[in-house]
Structure 1
Amino acid sequence: MTIKVGDKMPSGTFGVMTDAGPGAVSSEELFAGKKVVLVSVPGAFTPTCSMNHLPGFVDQADDLMSKGVDTIACMAVNDVFVMDAWGKDRGVGSKVMMLADGNAEYAKALGLELDASGFGMGIRGQRFAIVVDDGVATHVAVEQPGEFEVSKAEAILAQL
């Protein structure tokens, strides 16, 4: 079943890079008591994701935070090393938390997985953005295939 407004975010764990190496953060740690914008992209280093989607959230981070957002997190079905390298490549710094959903478990728990096998990419997460307030989805913006409108930073900023 696909996540919708009013639903509690599913439990899960994301890979994150720490100063000591690969680590993990639970969905409870990520969402409890905070307003979070969870952005999902089909893949790190892919064209739209690298040139538009992630950079938009980096560029709009201060504006999003001024609207009460505590954390901006970008999730992709990649490993923690790739997500860390991509974040460094895109200069996210501390503006965006890079989350690895290596086996697409969280994308599947949200009901937002994408079969990109036809492109040689296997199971991925769809392109989306969810505004989460204390563990509850308050805005869910899922892109139609090939689109990039409702989940971009400017569209999410307009919803806050």
Structure 2
Amino acid sequence: MAKATAKDLDIAQELILFLNRADEGLLPPKSEGEESEEFDTESYDDLERFHKLTMEFLRIPSALERVVWGMQCILDSGLLDPDSNVLDVHPEIMANQTAAEERGELLAALKDIHYALNFSPSCQKGATHIQRCCCAKCANETAEAAIAKAQKSNQAPEAAKDKS
């Protein structure tokens, strides 16, 4: 299904405006700069003009089809909440998004711990995070850093619990 373009959406909105105005008893002006004209549904000339203007919208290649059928594809895709009256994302997608964010936070914490366990800036042997140093000083510093970081990240949820 081809995606509706901005022009397609403009055409669909113009059609809706045209039909709403006709329902209110108005036709677009015959020329630019004039005001809308009264639409007399008993007048053959007004009905003929209404038909001609309506057909102009329908002759625009595929614009309305892309808007209507594109929306139908979105509704049928399972991306939207079928129980909502507005365009809300499906609850399962939202749950998956939340889980992905939590996994990302956990992965970042694990990478920080891995880095802390494998690198000490004061290493006497000049080890990098790629080369694990095995001196006692580095082992103590990295373990203390990992524990401190883990405790710090665990304190935030506890502080939030204390406030509630």
TM over 0.5: no
Relative contact order, higher structure (CA 8 A, sep 6+): 1
Structure 1 or 2, whichever has the larger Rg, is: 2
Task: Name whichever structure is richer in strand by fraction.
Answer: 1
TM-score for both structures, normalised by structure 2 = 0.18
TM-score for both structures, normalised by structure 1 = 0.19
Task: Name whichever structure is richer in helix by fraction.
Answer: 2
